[in-house]
Structure 1
């Protein structure tokens, strides 16, 4: 295992951990964590998959040991994708990598595989509980052809109300500092810090409303696996499975038991699916 720092296009330093060894020729899996986590959320999965794959994790800007931008614009998806490409080019300059992402890490990575990072640098993408903002916006605008479809969209709208709350000034910060949001959000806290919780709000403020109200989903040629926990309170199975279908040429969907935080709470349910998908596309 080695720790290194990658410099971003706007001069920040990202903390990166390579769990492989010098000369490692196994497939490289780059993991992108979500909100309000940092890269420690992947440690339970690393313990299971570390013998099969070369795993690389990093703290998204503003989280963990990575530096934070000075302005909200520093959290735009385009910059997050430039960070991801910088990590990929550093840890695997000569070969494509496989991507695994959860929650907001997955949301930002959808844009990377839709063209923000050259497709030849990415061998596959596994998404867990983090839909594309553009695909979500388009899906919510597509009238359900059945009562079930309409209800699915209404349910997802109710499950996404926190996005609106996160847009408010000061209130989300106060809710985190008081401990209220910790009790509501739940999940395995691991090594979450106050800066993870507070800085990460800018991810939503910089991107969510603009992209969901004016969606422009693009085709995805990278093979994609969507893992949908059936107990996810924030991303419905309908959204996870249906939103990507019109845009992804090679799409695999698996439903598993678990909550939104399944990657930390039950990594043994996630690991075999990731391992098999990576092996089949290496």
Structure 2
């Protein structure tokens, strides 16, 4: 693994890279509350086949972290990664997890010329996700934490007692415990950088998606532009079925938006499948890539 800082749209972004630069590029987009090092378990299994590029996205790790919720709308997050792809050389394969999946979908939907193939690992397309969160059912219940994270004082709450609440969320809130003491200390170090935790939470605050109260469906859910939410390129969805935050129904009907979709399930995995079963995730990616 090697590191460098790239200038994207005039701002500094920290990158981690694995594999020879002559190999096909694979852009790897992390979610909350991780940073580019989230891919350190998976990337070595792919680096003989891809030039793996894992940025700390806006607001995370050692990358640019502007103040203000308005700086974290999806169009700006997509613009960051579009600038990186243009530097690397388009089109590329894009892999996204959790919030990184939102940016990956955004690239595939709104900048399709930049994306040759799309891989999502336990992440959701906005339409079926909003559909399920609006019902007031199981996904609404599972997504109640989103409202907690959007609260104005959530950064202080999560950071108290050496990030005890954030560690609890990370370890148990979305799946099983997989973190080592060294790993959690590395995360604490990144979370403690000035302004970072509030910037990370701004991803939640800037999202237009709404969560219904349990048992109370939204009367007027957000109307998403369905015709603009199509994924034309080959799309692989890798799923850990034990995920506590994203339930299987959030992927129902995905074929309506991604007709060239392949699904792979990793039994026994949850939201953190790329840490728990990196060899199986890598094999799923390589087998699919050989066919596409």
**1:249 pairs with 2:244:** no
Report the equivalent of 1:127: 120
Residues 176-185 or 100-109, more deviating: 176-185
Q: CA deviation at 1:173?
A: 3.1
Query: How far, CA to CA, are the matches of 2:272 and 2:151 in structure 1?
Result: 25
Do the aligned partners of residues 175 and 83 (structure 1) sit closer, same or farther apart at CA in structure 2, a change above 3 Å counting? same
Report the equivalent of 2:214: none
Q: CA deviation at 1:43?
A: 0.6
Q: CA deviation at 1:197?
A: 4.0
Query: How far, CA to CA, are the matches of 2:36 and 2:283 in structure 1?
Result: 20
Query: How far, CA to CA, are the matches of 2:275 and 2:109 in structure 1?
Result: 27
Residues 16-165 of structure 1 mapped to structure 2, 5 A cutoff: 16-22=15-21, 24=22, 26-91=23-88, 93=89, 95-115=90-110, 117=111, 119-140=112-133, 154-165=137-148
Q: Secondary structure at the match of 1:99?
A: strand
Q: CA deviation at 1:124?
A: 0.7
Q: CA deviation at 1:100?
A: 0.8
How many residue pairs are counted as aligned between the two chains? 263
**1:236 pairs with 2:247:** yes
Could you report, residue by residue, the CA deviation over 1:220-241 in whole angstroms, capped at 9, with x for unpaired residues? 112111111011001112213x
Q: Secondary structure at the match of 1:100?
A: strand
Q: CA deviation at 1:203?
A: 0.2
Structure 2: segments with no counterpart, 5+ residues: 172-176, 212-220
Do the aligned partners of residues 277 and 113 (structure 1) sit closer, same or farther apart at CA in structure 2, a change above 3 Å counting? same
Do the aligned partners of residues 254 and 61 (structure 1) sit closer, same or farther apart at CA in structure 2, a change above 3 Å counting? same
**1:214 pairs with 2:223:** yes
Contact 2:130/2:209 (8 A) holds in 1: no
Q: CA deviation at 1:97?
A: 0.8
RMSD of aligned C-alpha atoms?
Answer: 2.2
Query: How far, CA to CA, are the matches of 2:69 and 2:78 in structure 1?
Result: 15
Could you report, residue by residue, the CA deviation over 1:179-226 in whole angstroms, capped at 9, with x for unpaired residues? 123113315553322245442110000114369733233221121111
Do the aligned partners of residues 243 and 73 (structure 1) sit closer, same or farther apart at CA in structure 2, a change above 3 Å counting? farther
Do the aligned partners of residues 4 and 243 (structure 1) sit closer, same or farther apart at CA in structure 2, a change above 3 Å counting? farther
**1:276 pairs with 2:287:** yes
Structure 1: segments with no counterpart, 5+ residues: 144-152
Q: CA deviation at 1:16?
A: 1.7
Report the equivalent of 1:149: none
Query: How far, CA to CA, are the matches of 1:51 and 1:202 in structure 2?
Result: 36
TM-score under structure 1 normalisation?
A: 0.85
Report the equivalent of 1:173: 156
4+ long deviations beyond 4 Å: none
